Structure 1
């Protein structure tokens, strides 16, 4: 199964207030493993980038001024994602911005059923706990040491690992026994017991002979038995 884990960076919180996408990062997963295939682009928002947003992702208007418009990259983006499930943390935020840009470009928007929200997954798995991406990395043992600032591709790569761990890791759903368990031997210690005597008593020998007298050609009397 193919899935796309993705993240976005924006100029603000609400496209209805004129905020725009400025970065998209996507990571491909097939059958529960990252393939190394990615889609990444910086976008010219055709507007200023507020300082509070710059403090989050570090992307200034000067850096983005020569980057392509979303409309210039929309075909490449849609070709990469297709109708594949799109996995994001707080997916409604990213979906709102993606669909706003698609609408501006005159393209059909993506249905909500195509999106998988890892924040909702985390809330079900860890109710009442902090479920930010950083908190999940710490809880699930995923390294985020490179994450000084938010970056769409880096965050998508980290989220891909978190997503797999939320589903039980790369061996999710399998009851696997460790190699050590499979090859371990069990030592059983029993107390020493002396060998039991097997020679019959005189009474047992006489009873056995009387029993043989009742049989026709018993095998115990053949060959001198």
Structure 2
């Protein structure tokens, strides 16, 4: 962890408004991460809201999909038609859901101090930070692992200038030979990111790089 991140973490720890959530600052629990995804009403973390969230624990070579955290969230404002076209969640679909303030405590206990994995995971964390600042006066302190960054390092880390770079979610799935899950569903996107993470982290540990020609791999891991 860099010095700046350590400083931010220390500031967050002091600013924490409820010591019942001090577990967020405990040491990372070994070889465990949580794959996270949110569906939102838009792309502005300070204006838009979360309408669906999923988190899946990943340990060693196992994705714990059957015990995933999944929740629909009732936003305070109306869901815009443009966002409905993306995630297909309508007003009636979330009418009986809980507000994010009620969902957040259970999510934080599920995540704990584990690193967060995701595709462009910084966006999901920024969306959560809005609610955390209101509830706990902190930003989420967990380390983040972006699968698009892992993929970039394995495929384009030593690419010559001018190389065409493709970091699209579907392109990464295809290149890794992974199943294409329905997009813009929080659980399916979190599951896809977890699968990417296991393959790419294994490649990183073995020092394996991806050819810049399309490739498929059938590395094995287990769903639980």
TM-score by length of 1: 0.70
User: Counterpart in 2 of 1:165?
Assistant: 199
How much has 1:108 moved relative to structure 2?
2.6
User: Counterpart in 2 of 1:7?
Assistant: 37
User: Counterpart in 1 of 2:69?
Assistant: 39
Cα RMSD (Å): 2.1
Q: Is the 8 A contact 1:21 1:101 kept in 2?
A: no
Q: Is it true that 1:115 corresponds to 2:144 in the alignment?
A: yes
Q: Is the 8 A contact 1:91 1:117 kept in 2?
A: yes
How much has 1:83 moved relative to structure 2?
0.5
Q: Is it true that 1:73 corresponds to 2:73 in the alignment?
A: no
User: Counterpart in 2 of 1:24?
Assistant: 53
Q: Runs (4+) of structure 1 moved beyond 6 Å?
A: none
Greater RCO (CA < 8 Å, at least 6 residues apart): 2
Q: Secondary structure at the match of 1:126?
A: helix
Q: Secondary structure at the match of 1:142?
A: coil
How much has 1:158 moved relative to structure 2?
1.3
User: Counterpart in 2 of 1:142?
Assistant: 178
Deviations along 1:110-145, one digit per CA (max 9) or x if unpaired, are 12x61111122222222243112211110000001x
**Mapped partners of 2:146, 2:134: distance in 1:** 24
Q: Secondary structure at the match of 1:108?
A: coil
Q: Secondary structure at the match of 1:15?
A: coil
Deviations along 1:11-44, one digit per CA (max 9) or x if unpaired, are 000122x211111111111123213321010100
How much has 1:164 moved relative to structure 2?
1.0
How much has 1:174 moved relative to structure 2?
9.7
For structure 1, the 5+ residue unaligned runs are 176-225
TM-score by length of 2: 0.70
For structure 2, the 5+ residue unaligned runs are 1-30, 157-163, 209-224
Deviations along 1:187-223, one digit per CA (max 9) or x if unpaired, are xxxxxxxxxxxxxxxxxxxxxxxxxxxxxxxxxxxxx
Q: Is the 8 A contact 1:47 1:61 kept in 2?
A: no
